[in-house]
Amino acid sequence: MSSLTLAARDSSTMLRRNLLHARRYPSMTLNLLLTPVMLLLLFVFVFGDAMSAGLGGGHADRTEYLAYLVPGILLMTIGSTTIGTAVSVSNDMTEGIIARFRTMAIHRGSVLVGHVAGSVLQAVASVVLVGAVGVAIGFRSVDATALDWLAAFGLLVLFALALTWIAVGMGLISPNAEAASNNAMPLIFLPLISSTFVPVHAMPGWFQPIAQYQPFTPAIETLRGLLLGTPIGNNWWIALAWCLGLTVLGYRWSKAVYDRGAK
């Protein structure tokens, strides 16, 4: 069997194992979805009037704020689900089964690839669930073509892939689940200081560059542009660069940490 076939076969076996875990114990994934859903409902129905006053020169209404909010909430959902990835990777590494995998003639990276593939699938499913909540309370896309939807989907998958590889690395260096959850906190925190809730230009001047160029904002602005027809500008390639950069970084980091396990 060629090494590529072997890699694909073992990785898909590991993916099945991770999906089995997710199906058997869905509570963790579902709990992680509570944060973005609660924030969505809170900001639309509780703060909605006040927030919309800051949009579009004060003429926006709650529906427009909902439209503004949803793209950021979707990317925040991805950030949330990757906490689950860090925790489950960390848990997995404390299990004896990993030592067993290491003594078997299987593709070495398949354990991690299985985790990543499983997490990306879970992240996409989560985005669909949270997106459905958004649609249920009135979110509609504006003039989005099939190509726009495809590009939006691709962006979400790439973003999930990037954050997942980082989360896998965080899980690998964490001695236990609590540490993994703490280490992955930035993935929840970053969307709060992005353009999810308010436009970057509404933030203090010294803070604007941070909010503007962190990984979430360019991705959010790109997604907004695709779904709502707002200007994307240079955000699409900054978002793409972040996705590719974080994926490569997370992959190399995770692989190095995992291989170091074989002292």
Binding site for other proteins (CB under 8 A): 1, 9-10, 13, 16-17, 20-21, 24-25, 95-97, 99-106, 262-263
Nearer to other proteins, 104 or 147 (CB): 104
Assign 52 to helix, strand or coil: helix
Minimum Å gap between C-beta 245 and other proteins is 32
Between the alpha carbon of residue 173 and those of residues 81, 166, 182, the distances in Å are: 18, 11, 12
First to last CA, the chain: 28
Q: Which of 173, 73, 161 is nearest to 119 (CA)?
A: 161
Minimum Å gap between C-beta 94 and other proteins is 10
Q: What does the alpha-carbon distance between residue 209 and residue 194 come to, in Å, rounded to a whole number?
A: 10
Nearer to other proteins, 24 or 59 (CB): 24
Amino acid, res. 194: S
Q: How many CA atoms lie within 13 A of 252 on its CB side?
A: 5
Assign 102 to helix, strand or coil: helix
How is residue 128 written in tokens? 């669909």
How is residue 23 written in tokens? 């199906």
Minimum Å gap between C-beta 192 and other proteins is 32
Inter-residue contact 199 to 55 (CB < 8 Å): yes
Minimum Å gap between C-beta 247 and other proteins is 26
Inter-residue contact 249 to 166 (CB < 8 Å): yes
Nearer to other proteins, 49 or 95 (CB): 95
Nearer to other proteins, 1 or 147 (CB): 1
Minimum Å gap between C-beta 151 and other proteins is 36
Minimum Å gap between C-beta 17 and other proteins is 6
Q: What does the alpha-carbon distance between residue 34 and residue 24 come to, in Å, rounded to a whole number?
A: 19
How many CB atoms within 10 Å of residue 224? 22
Nearer to other proteins, 16 or 140 (CB): 16
Nearer to other proteins, 106 or 177 (CB): 106
Nearer to other proteins, 111 or 200 (CB): 111
Q: Which helix (H) or strand (E) holds 91?
A: helix 62-93
DSSP calls for 26-38 = THHHHHHHHHHHH
Minimum Å gap between C-beta 183 and other proteins is 22
